[in-house]
């Protein structure tokens, strides 16, 4: 009798344990998402597509989709008090993206737009992709807040997309972040056909005047004037723009080398790991595998294409008003999206394809960094209007 | 040097003081008031009394201790909120309810004044100096079980009788914010958003463009003047100090060309296992590193 009850107790315990395992709680959605995670990691390792982002995101997808019994164990990312939930706070409350921007500021050399400030306008023009995607998302039935979060994918700026969606449409944030980072990795595939289609051979071979040398004083003034001007116009852009320009001042001031090194080195690495992993982990199957996610991916691709096209077309129109020696090669128009430096590299590559002596990289970096500012301003505008 | 340090400390102290004041109470809002509580919320004693809600619209916690509450515009220091109670700290975007039954024995959230259900009521939050009014309202006579306050939490401009009584909860219970609703109703195709937002983006970057056009010109002028001085060229003479030499361009072009062609050495990173021959050395010999066993005599 005693043995029987012990065996019963033992069996019960084993059954109880089994009910807690992932195998007992797995759903088809979890398996699909785990495959998506594998795909991201494969892209990162084999194809070297944005490995620093896709590895943490891919692995995060695995973490977020390991099934478990919903018994208040405080292990899931959406369970208050769990370790993952605490780390997720930086995404949910939007304080990881400004820290990333601090690092980006410390890495970025704004010399190209200081030397040729008119390239800032190219960065502004490319933001049209955001608002075109906003209109499409509205037409497809999304609410304004959701449409704005989807539209920002066209800014090609992962941290900005995460910040905006965490504030306006937290339920779509996973899909938006994955979409934004995926398309940033796919810039070499998406942009060149649009650039070729919208330019003539003559335009592609325009040689731009070498940028002038920028003094250190100008480089120091830039972040100070930049933050004052942009944040006075769009105070809601303060978290991103403030950190971006602070990082740049740390770099350019010349007296805070250690701080700049930390911001662009260990700090941005730590935040990138946490941000990527938590964004991946937030894509739990029941939230991610929806028709909305598919629509978001489709609109995201469209917004990238529109952003590229509007940057290139703006340069073509701008050239009508410029003297012959000041003309801009429209192949740098694509760099107005803020995928730094990927889109500038595309300009360089295409420029060399049509004229092996035409190096556009330095020129393309102008609209590229202006795009970073432009997308942060656009995010600030959307937040200001909709929150 | 000492004076500079003192000055800096003074400025920092002022900033901290100003920031502290800003976070202390100046943003608080009287968010909702119920003067005629018939079937509504009960206080700690199980009584239904008039109450009002104070809302912290900021993103930082605000401590309301030391401030005053009043229902008399001629006596702004009527009820002082004592210090040292955890209730006085209002978390970001959260609320604190004050019960008004002229009985402060139940805690800091019980005022020493009551609100009338038959006449209009004046309520104000006054800063710790007893002079500056942080927020004040004139609440009209309310029907039983209705409340009056900000239609959207923290909105001082739009106050009215609320659709639902919501002590310690969001005032507007709809799923959309007023701003979103506004865009949904008036900008169905997103054209308005695109036009206004693109204008703002262009304005911001246009301002930067104009600023740096001017700053650039000044920098070039100053640079040219310095170069003239260094080269001993008289005023009006031309020296172009910012011209980059052809050699520099050639070096950059070469580097880019090498980069594009991937023409750099590549290290084979293959790990292999190879047996390493151990040669005798007295430095690694155990014999020299161990003590000899003690000898028995």
Chain B nearest CA to A213, separation (Å): 6
Number of H helices, E strands in chain B: 5, 12
Mean pLDDT over residues B248-267, rounded?
73
- Helical pair A268-281 and A173-185, crossing angle rounded to 10 deg: 120
Question: pTM to 2 decimals?
Answer: 0.69
Which helix (H) or strand (E) segment holds residue B148: the answer is: strand B148-150
Nearest in space to B25 (alpha carbons), one of B59, B55, B64, B54: B64
Q: pLDDT of B33-45, one tens digit each?
A: 999 888 888 888 8
Q: pLDDT of A74-83, one tens digit each?
A: 788 888 788 9
Determine, for residues A234 and B204 on separate chains, whether the beta-carbon distance falls below 8 Å. yes
Contact B147, B97 (CB under 8 A): no
Determine, for residues A124 and B196 on separate chains, whether the beta-carbon distance falls below 8 Å. no
* Greater model confidence, A262 or B143: A262
Per-residue pLDDT for B210 more than 50? yes
Determine, for residues A210 and B249 on separate chains, whether the beta-carbon distance falls below 8 Å. yes
User: Chain A residue with minimal CA distance to B255?
Assistant: A359
Per-residue pLDDT for B243 more than 60? no
Q: How far apart are CA B249 and CA A71, in angstroms?
A: 66
Determine, for residues B183 and A386 on separate chains, whether the beta-carbon distance falls below 8 Å. yes
Is A167 inside a domain boundary?
Answer: yes
Q: How far apart are CA A176 and CA A55, in angstroms?
A: 17
Ramachandran area for residue B107 (φ above 0: left; ψ -120 to 50: alpha; else beta): left
pLDDT band for position A247 (cuts 50, 70, 90):
very high
Per-residue pLDDT for B20 more than 80? no
Q: pLDDT of B141-158, one tens digit each?
A: 988 888 999 888 888 888
* Greater model confidence, A309 or B23: A309
| pLDDT value for B39 | 86
Contact B33, B48 (CB under 8 A): no
Q: What is the mean pLDDT of chain A?
A: 89
Per-residue pLDDT for A50 more than 80? no
User: Chain B residue with minimal CA distance to A141?
Assistant: B188
pLDDT band for position A43 (cuts 50, 70, 90):
confident
Mean pLDDT over residues B207-219, rounded?
91
Domains and CATH numbers, chain B: 2-175 (2.60.40.1260), 191-258 (no CATH)
Q: Is residue B18 exposed (0-12), middle (13-18) or buried (19+ Cβ within 10 Å)? A: exposed
Q: Please give the order of strands across the beta sheet that includes B79-80.
A: B79-80, B68-70, B121-126, B133-139
| pLDDT value for B19 | 42
* Greater model confidence, B123 or A188: B123
Contact A124, A373 (CB under 8 A): no
User: Chain A residue with minimal CA distance to B188?
Assistant: A138
Mean pLDDT over residues A10-24, rounded?
89
Is A18 inside a domain boundary?
Answer: no
Share of chain A above pLDDT 90, in %: 49
Chain B nearest CA to A26, separation (Å): 33
Is A77 inside a domain boundary?
Answer: yes
Q: How far apart are CA A192 and CA A247, in angstroms?
A: 32
Contact A89, A99 (CB under 8 A): no
Chain A nearest CA to B216, separation (Å): 7
Chain A nearest CA to B242, separation (Å): 6
Q: What does the buried/exposed string (b/e) look like for B170-196 if buried means 16 or more CB atoms within 10 Å of the residue's CB?
A: ebbeeeebebbeebeeebeebeebbee
Share of chain B above pLDDT 70, in %: 76
Determine, for residues B204 and A233 on separate chains, whether the beta-carbon distance falls below 8 Å. yes
Question: How many residue pairs from chains A and B have C-beta atoms closer than 8 A?
Answer: 139
| pLDDT value for B264 | 54
Q: pLDDT of A219-229, one tens digit each?
A: 999 999 999 99
Is A21 inside a domain boundary?
Answer: no
Determine, for residues A117 and B200 on separate chains, whether the beta-carbon distance falls below 8 Å. no
* Greater model confidence, B8 or A127: A127
| pLDDT value for A331 | 94
Domain coverage including residue A362: 29-386
* B260 interaction partners in chain A (CB closer than 8 Å): 352
CA distances from B208 to B73, B118, B271 (A): 49, 59, 53
| pLDDT value for B15 | 44
Q: Which two tokens mark A27?
A: 């759903």
* A147 interaction partners in chain B (CB closer than 8 Å): 190
Determine, for residues B205 and A147 on separate chains, whether the beta-carbon distance falls below 8 Å. no
B250 in reach of chain A (CB within 8 A) = no
* Greater model confidence, B104 or A3: B104
Determine, for residues B177 and A386 on separate chains, whether the beta-carbon distance falls below 8 Å. yes
pLDDT band for position A96 (cuts 50, 70, 90):
very high
Q: pLDDT of B130-140, one tens digit each?
A: 888 999 999 99
Give how many domains chain A has, as a whole number. Answer: 1
pLDDT band for position A387 (cuts 50, 70, 90):
confident
Q: Which two tokens mark B227?
A: 């170069």
Nearest to B211 among A215, A229, A374 (CB): A229
Is A207 inside a domain boundary?
Answer: yes
Q: pLDDT of B96-118, one tens digit each?
A: 999 998 888 888 889 999 898 88
| pLDDT value for B21 | 41
Determine, for residues B190 and A128 on separate chains, whether the beta-carbon distance falls below 8 Å. no
Three-class SS of residue B96? strand
Per-residue pLDDT for A358 more than 50? yes
pLDDT band for position B269 (cuts 50, 70, 90):
low
User: Chain A residue with minimal CA distance to B208?
Assistant: A226
pLDDT band for position B16 (cuts 50, 70, 90):
very low
pLDDT band for position B26 (cuts 50, 70, 90):
confident
Nearest to B205 among A134, A373, A381 (CB): A373
Is A13 inside a domain boundary?
Answer: no
Per-residue pLDDT for A180 more than 80? yes
pLDDT band for position A186 (cuts 50, 70, 90):
confident
Nearest to B209 among A121, A144, A386 (CB): A121
| pLDDT value for B290 | 67
Q: pLDDT of A271-310, one tens digit each?
A: 999 999 998 898 888 778 888 888 898 998 899 899 999 9
Beta bridge partners of B133: B126
* Greater model confidence, B266 or B85: B85
């Amino acid at each position: 009798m005693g043995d029987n009850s012990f065996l019963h107790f033992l069996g019960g315990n084993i059954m109880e344990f089994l009910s807690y395992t992932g195998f007992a709680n797995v759903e088809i959605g979890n398996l699909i998402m785990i495959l998506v995670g594998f795909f991201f990691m494969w892209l990162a390792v084999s194809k070297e597509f944005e490995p620093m982002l896709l590895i943490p995101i891919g692995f995060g997808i695995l973490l977020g989709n390991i099934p478990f019994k919903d018994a208040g164990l405080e292990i899931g990312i959406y369970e208050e008090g769990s370790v993952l939930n605490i780390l997720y706070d930086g995404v949910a409350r939007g304080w990881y993206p400004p820290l990333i921007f601090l690092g980006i500021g410390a890495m970025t050399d704004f010399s190209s737009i200081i030397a040729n400030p008119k390239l800032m306008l190219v960065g502004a023009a490319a933001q049209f992709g955001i608002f075109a995607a906003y209109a499409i998302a509205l037409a497809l039935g999304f609410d304004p807040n959701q449409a704005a979060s989807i539209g920002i994918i066209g800014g090609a700026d992962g941290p900005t997309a995460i910040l905006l969606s965490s504030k306006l449409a937290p339920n779509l944030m996973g899909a938006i972040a994955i979409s934004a980072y995926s398309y940033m990795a796919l810039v070499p595939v998406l942009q060149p056909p649009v650039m070729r289609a919208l330019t003539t051979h003559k335009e592609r071979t325009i040689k731009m005047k070498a940028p002038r040398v920028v003094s250190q004083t100008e480089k120091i003034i830039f972040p100070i004037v930049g933050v004052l001007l942009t944040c006075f116009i769009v105070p809601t852009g303060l978290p991103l723009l403030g950190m971006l320009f602070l990082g740049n001042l740390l770099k350019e001031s010349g007296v805070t080398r250690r701080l700049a090194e930390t911001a662009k080195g260990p700090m941005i690495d730590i935040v990138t790991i946490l941000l990527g992993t938590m964004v991946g982990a937030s894509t739990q199957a029941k939230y991610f595998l929806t028709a909305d996610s598919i629509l978001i991916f489709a609109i995201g691709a469209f917004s990238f294409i529109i952003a590229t096209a509007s940057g290139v077309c703006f340069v073509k129109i701008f050239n009508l008003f410029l003297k012959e020696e000041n003309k801009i090669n429209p192949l740098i128009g694509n760099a107005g999206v803020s995928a730094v430096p990927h889109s500038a590299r595309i300009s360089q590559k295409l420029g060399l394809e049509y004229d092996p002596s035409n190096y556009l990289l330095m020129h393309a970096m102008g609209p590229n960094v202006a795009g970073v500012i432009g997308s942060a301003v656009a995010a600030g505008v959307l937040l200001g209007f909709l929150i | 040097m000492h004076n500079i340090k003192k000055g800096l400390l003074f400025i920092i102290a002022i900033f901290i003081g100003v920031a502290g004041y800003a976070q202390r109470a100046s943003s608080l809002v009287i968010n909702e008031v119920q003067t005629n509580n018939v079937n509504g919320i009960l206080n700690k004693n199980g009584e239904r009394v008039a109450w009002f809600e104070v809302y912290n619209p900021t993103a930082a916690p605000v401590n309301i201790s030391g401030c005053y509450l009043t229902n008399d515009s001629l006596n702004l220091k009527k009820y002082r909120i004592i210090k040292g109670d955890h209730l006085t700290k209002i978390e970001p975007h959260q609320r604190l309810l004050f019960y008004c039954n002229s009985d402060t024995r139940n805690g800091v959230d019980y005022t020493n004044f009551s609100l009338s259900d038959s006449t209009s009521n004046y309520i104000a939050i006054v800063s710790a100096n007893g002079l500056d009014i942080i927020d004040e309202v004139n609440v009209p006579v309310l029907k039983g079980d209705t409340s009056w306050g900000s239609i959207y939490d923290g909105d001082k401009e739009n106050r009215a009788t609320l659709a639902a009584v919501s002590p310690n909860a969001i005032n507007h219970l709809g799923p959309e914010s007023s701003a979103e609703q506004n865009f949904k109703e008036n900008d169905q195709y997103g054209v308005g958003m695109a036009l206004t937002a693109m204008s703002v983006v262009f304005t911001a970057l246009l301002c930067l463009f104009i600023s740096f056009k001017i700053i650039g010109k000044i920098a070039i002028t100053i640079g040219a003047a310095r170069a003239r001085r260094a080269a001993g060229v008289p005023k009006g003479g031309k020296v172009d100090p910012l011209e980059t030499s052809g050699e520099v361009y050639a070096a950059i072009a070469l580097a880019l060309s090498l980069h594009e062609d991937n023409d750099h050495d590549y290290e084979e990173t293959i790990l292999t296992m190879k047996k390493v021959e151990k040669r005798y050395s007295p430095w690694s010999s155990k014999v020299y590193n161990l003590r000899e066993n003690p000898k028995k005599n």
